[in-house]
A and B are shown apart, each in its own frame.
Chain A
Amino acid sequence: MDLEFTAEERAFRDEVRGFLKERLPCEIRDKVLAGREVGRDDYLEWQRRLYQRGWGGVSWPVQFGGTGWSAVQQFIFEEESALAGAPRLIPFGLKMVAPVLMAFGSPEQQQRFLPQIRSAEAWWCQGYSEPGAGSDLASLRTRAVREGDHYVVNGQKTWNTLGQFADWMFCLVRTDLQAKQQSGISFLLIDMKSPGVRVRPIALLDGSHEVNDVFFEDVRVPAENLVGEENRGWTYAKFLLGHERSNIAGIGASKRELARLKRVAAEERKDGRPLSDDPLFAARLARVEIDLLALEITNLRVLSAEGAARAPGPEASILKIKGTEIQQTLSELFVRAAGEYALPLRREAMEAGWQPEAGLEGAGPAYATTVMAAYLNQRKLTIFGGTNEIQKNIVAKMAGL
């Protein structure tokens, strides 16, 4: 047994570090490191730079223009990127629809859509959840009726993440009303500029706009945009959910936040001494660091077992549950650290370039201006991508129950 990366993997890590140092724009990095909002252009700019380096398809096989990296290499890349303050990869195209197209799409679909994802020319979004279909996704009701060489789509999707930026949506629709739930679903690619598509923002508790309702009213989708076979969409949807879970533990981002929290705790004062010397706070900090260390090793075990070929199995649920719990704990500790200055919720402070009132210190230290918005926002982590309760069902099943 050996916990260390191999010499090749270490050389690869150095290469990634060198690239990040050279090519990650500081204004984007500063936003990520300060916990401010990263915009559409920032995400796309970063993806373009990866593309220029030949790393546009981080998790893709070489035959589709990808890097062909092993699971361990992908892990190293994502961890180093997070530590350096790079934005997360936009997952909807790269990690969600792309693997489905590679496995089940027609050659035409592959040629048409995959290059644009790699080169940051197209932004994708997901059309899965509906008001009545969340954890029970298979009960979805958005309908697609075949009329000649088109499907006509009617219905509503919800919790659509960043659809306001999207050019395309991959969408689960019901094409057979008679069939049993799972077997009447198809996987359609919908141009977001199609007449009849309406995107309506959902206001969230932290004031952010990152999810939408999407309404379809007689939206005509060319039949060539059906992926695979009609009524086989559930198979593809499940396949996709397996791939969505790479980097699900968020180890790199949590390490970065832990390091930032330590810096904050060393600066903050309690009774005239550094907060990091406070026994209660120090114990909480140590606890989350230990949990993160354990999860990092668990994550490496999963990676090592699966190799590059296989999508993560039920073990991914363990990574999702523990990873999101750790991220939420870190956001809670930032709130504790900020004391009374966690109370203000200043939406404007989330925006890049925001400065406290000129000539005054404003209200509280700079880091504190984003802690509450982050805490509130991160409550989503245990809800989306399969609630942690659903994930625990999967773990229990894996254990033999």
Chain B
Amino acid sequence: MNFDFSDEQQQLRQAVEQFLAKEYPFERLRALKSSNAGWDPQVWRGLAELGVTAINVPSSLGGLGYGPMETLVLMGACGPSLLLEPVLTSAVIATVLLREFEVSAPAAELLRAMAGGERIASVAHFEPGARFDGRQVDTRARRAGEGYRLDGRKSVVVHAGLADTLLVSARTRGDAHDPEGVSLFLVPRALPGVKLIEYANLDGQRAADLYLEEASVPEASRLGAEGGALPAIEAAFDQGLAALCAEAVGIMQSLINATVEYLRTRQQFGQPIGRFQVLQHRVADMVMHLEQARSMSYLAALRCTAADLGERRRALSAAKVVIGDAARFVGQQAVQLHGGMGMTDELKVSHCFKRLTAIEILFGDSDAHLERYAALVRGRQELPA
């Protein structure tokens, strides 16, 4: 048993933390949130120079060829800065997904460019009303001439507007819930027939609903075999979920640090309010949530690539339940213990709270994963010995 990080992993964390401390102070985040673009391409280039965008790219394609553990370290280090840039979206989820298709020339070409931070991709998979159930795909890809015609709709595609390429799942056969028949397409964002309704999510990250109306793509834009893309998409979002858990832990740690500091300095009734036992116990509860969440973030990183699909999904759902609940409790209580100040835009506390709230919802909330976990465990018990 060993819970230590390697020297290399620790160096990665330090490099990212130092870069963000310098380039991404809170005031920069606030300014970017209210800017038109909603992100900073220069910070993105800086992250690329550090190797952040290359972490999940195979070394054969100019990447670092790292895996979920390095991704955990990266996300934990990025967490407290509340980055608006597409680290999770592009450097983790889209990259991992493309890696599944690295033998295809367009995917390999895109991965090379993404490793250097020159291109950005976002996976447009989840659909309206599906509540992040990735097995519900009703967007259609119909054969048309030399290629396909895409019709359908994708919901809350994070960073869709700043990605140059969208990785769009669409059904080439079957009905909306059929696990077979889902194909994956590389779709330029600016393609005719692709319309984005853009908005900002509560954490300030830009997102969009994607409308596909007779969007024509060539045969070569399809990645992998027709109808067989769902396992790869699920693998990518499973690794994304593990990364999200690590990000949450990084944010919660910094939020608890900030709250403790506030309780030590804020004076009421002639003493620091941290002397009141009710507040001390509240902090103790926050710390316990954090440590349970940290444990589950390790489990998620260790299991998110497991070959046994049941084991992988049980671990990830268990992690999301613990981390979703922790994110809610720690976020809400950090605001509560800061009093009115916790409600203001001026303090980072509210921004951390909002990102944690988004994390709780993303890829299914605690209720959804509790239900999934129960179903998976039930399924295992029902298997013949």
Instruction: State in angstroms the CA–CA spacing of A136 and B269 once bound together.
Output: 6
Q: Which chain B residues (325-359) contact chain A, with CB distance < 8 Å?
A: 332, 335-336, 339-340, 342-346, 350-351, 353-354, 357-358
**A254 contacts the other chain (CB 8 A):** no
**A389 contacts the other chain (CB 8 A):** yes
Given the known inter-chain contacts A136-B268, A362-B209, please indicate yes or no for A339 contacting B129, CB distance below 8 A.
yes
**Which residues of chain B come closer than 8 Å to A388, judged between CB atoms?**
336
User: Smallest CB-CB separation from A362: which chain B residue?
Assistant: B197
- Evaluate contact between A134 and B129: CB separation under 8 angstroms: no
**Which residues of chain A come closer than 8 Å to B211, judged between CB atoms?**
360
Given the known inter-chain contacts A159-B340, A345-B200, please indicate yes or no for A363 contacting B345, CB distance below 8 A.
no
- Evaluate contact between B132 and A382: CB separation under 8 angstroms: no
- Evaluate contact between B365 and A363: CB separation under 8 angstroms: no
**Which residues of chain A come closer than 8 Å to B332, judged between CB atoms?**
379
- Evaluate contact between A270 and B131: CB separation under 8 angstroms: yes
Given the known inter-chain contacts A134-B339, A202-B344, A205-B354, please indicate yes or no for A343 contacting B156, CB distance below 8 A.
yes
**A126 contacts the other chain (CB 8 A):** no
Q: Which chain A residues (225-250) contact chain B, with CB distance < 8 Å?
A: none
CB-contact partner of B267 in A132, A204, A340, under 8 A: A132
**Which residues of chain B come closer than 8 Å to A382, judged between CB atoms?**
336
Q: Which of B131, B273, B362, B371 has the most CB of A within 10 A?
A: B131
- Evaluate contact between A135 and B200: CB separation under 8 angstroms: no
**B279 contacts the other chain (CB 8 A):** yes
**Which residues of chain A come closer than 8 Å to B273, judged between CB atoms?**
135
Contact with B along A254-277 (1 / 0, CB 8 A): 000000000000001111000000
**Which residues of chain B come closer than 8 Å to A336, judged between CB atoms?**
365, 367
- Evaluate contact between B129 and A269: CB separation under 8 angstroms: yes
Q: Which chain A residues (100-144) contact chain B, with CB distance < 8 Å?
A: 129, 132, 134-136, 139
**B69 contacts the other chain (CB 8 A):** no
B131 smallest CB distance to A (angstroms): 4
**B256 contacts the other chain (CB 8 A):** no
- Evaluate contact between A343 and B335: CB separation under 8 angstroms: no
- Evaluate contact between A364 and B128: CB separation under 8 angstroms: yes
Instruction: State in angstroms the CA–CA spacing of A284 and B208 once bound together.
Output: 30
Question: SS class of chain B's interface: helix, strand, loop or mixed?
Answer: mixed
**Which residues of chain B come closer than 8 Å to A136, judged between CB atoms?**
268-270
Contact with A along B208-234 (1 / 0, CB 8 A): 110100000000000000000000000
**A376 contacts the other chain (CB 8 A):** yes
- Evaluate contact between A205 and B344: CB separation under 8 angstroms: yes
Q: Which chain A residues (319-374) contact chain B, with CB distance < 8 Å?
A: 335-336, 339-346, 357, 360, 362-364, 372
**Which residues of chain B come closer than 8 Å to A139, judged between CB atoms?**
268-269
CB-contact partner of A379 in B343, B345, B361, B367, under 8 A: B343
CB-contact partner of A384 in B133, B207, B279, B340, under 8 A: B340
**Which residues of chain A come closer than 8 Å to B371, judged between CB atoms?**
280
**Which residues of chain B come closer than 8 Å to A207, judged between CB atoms?**
345
Instruction: State in angstroms the CA–CA spacing of A335 and B155 once bound together.
Output: 16
- Evaluate contact between B267 and A344: CB separation under 8 angstroms: no
CB-contact partner of B370 in A268, A270, A280, A344, under 8 A: A280
**Which residues of chain A come closer than 8 Å to B340, judged between CB atoms?**
129, 134, 158-159, 211, 380, 383-384
Q: What's the tally of chain B residues with a CB closer than 8 Å to chain A?
A: 49
User: Smallest CB-CB separation from B360: which chain A residue?
Assistant: A335
Given the known inter-chain contacts A280-B370, A340-B126, A376-B202, please indicate yes or no for A363 contacting B342, CB distance below 8 A.
no
Report the contact-size class of chain A (Cβ under 8 Å from the partner). Answer: 35 or more
CB-contact partner of B155 in A271, A363, A376, under 8 A: A363
**A203 contacts the other chain (CB 8 A):** yes
User: Smallest CB-CB separation from A132: which chain B residue?
Assistant: B267
- Evaluate contact between B268 and A340: CB separation under 8 angstroms: no
**Which residues of chain A come closer than 8 Å to B383, judged between CB atoms?**
none
**Which residues of chain A come closer than 8 Å to B270, judged between CB atoms?**
136
- Evaluate contact between B132 and A205: CB separation under 8 angstroms: no
**A51 contacts the other chain (CB 8 A):** no
- Evaluate contact between B354 and A280: CB separation under 8 angstroms: no
**B31 contacts the other chain (CB 8 A):** no
Instruction: State in angstroms the CA–CA spacing of A373 and B374 once bound together.
Output: 32
Given the known inter-chain contacts A343-B207, A383-B339, please indicate yes or no for A135 contacting B156, CB distance below 8 A.
no
**A48 contacts the other chain (CB 8 A):** no
**Which residues of chain A come closer than 8 Å to B344, judged between CB atoms?**
202-205
Instruction: State in angstroms the CA–CA spacing of A253 and B361 once bound together.
Output: 26
A392 smallest CB distance to B (angstroms): 7
Given the known inter-chain contacts A344-B199, A387-B339, please indicate yes or no for A363 contacting B156, CB distance below 8 A.
yes
**Which residues of chain A come closer than 8 Å to B351, judged between CB atoms?**
205
User: Smallest CB-CB separation from B370: which chain A residue?
Assistant: A280
Q: Which of A134, A204, A357, A363 has the most CB of B within 10 A?
A: A363
**Which residues of chain B come closer than 8 Å to A165, judged between CB atoms?**
none
**B201 contacts the other chain (CB 8 A):** yes
CB-contact partner of B350 in A135, A205, A383, under 8 A: A205
B342 smallest CB distance to A (angstroms): 7
**B278 contacts the other chain (CB 8 A):** yes
- Evaluate contact between B278 and A392: CB separation under 8 angstroms: yes
Q: Which 10 pairs from chain A and chain B are nearest by CB?
A: A205-B350, A136-B268, A203-B345, A345-B202, A339-B131, A363-B209, A343-B201, A344-B199, A340-B156, A136-B269
Q: List 10 A-B contacts (CB under 8 A).
A: A134-B340, A139-B269, A205-B335, A335-B357, A339-B129, A343-B207, A357-B197, A363-B199, A379-B353, A383-B340
Given contacts A205-B343, A379-B332, A380-B343, 9 further A-B contacts (CB under 8 A): A136-B270, A159-B340, A268-B129, A343-B362, A363-B199, A379-B342, A382-B336, A383-B335, A383-B339
Chain A residues near B (Cβ < 8 Å): 129, 132, 134-136, 139, 158-159, 202-205, 207, 211, 268-271, 280-281, 284, 335-336, 339-346, 357, 360, 362-364, 372, 375-376, 379-380, 382-384, 387-389, 392
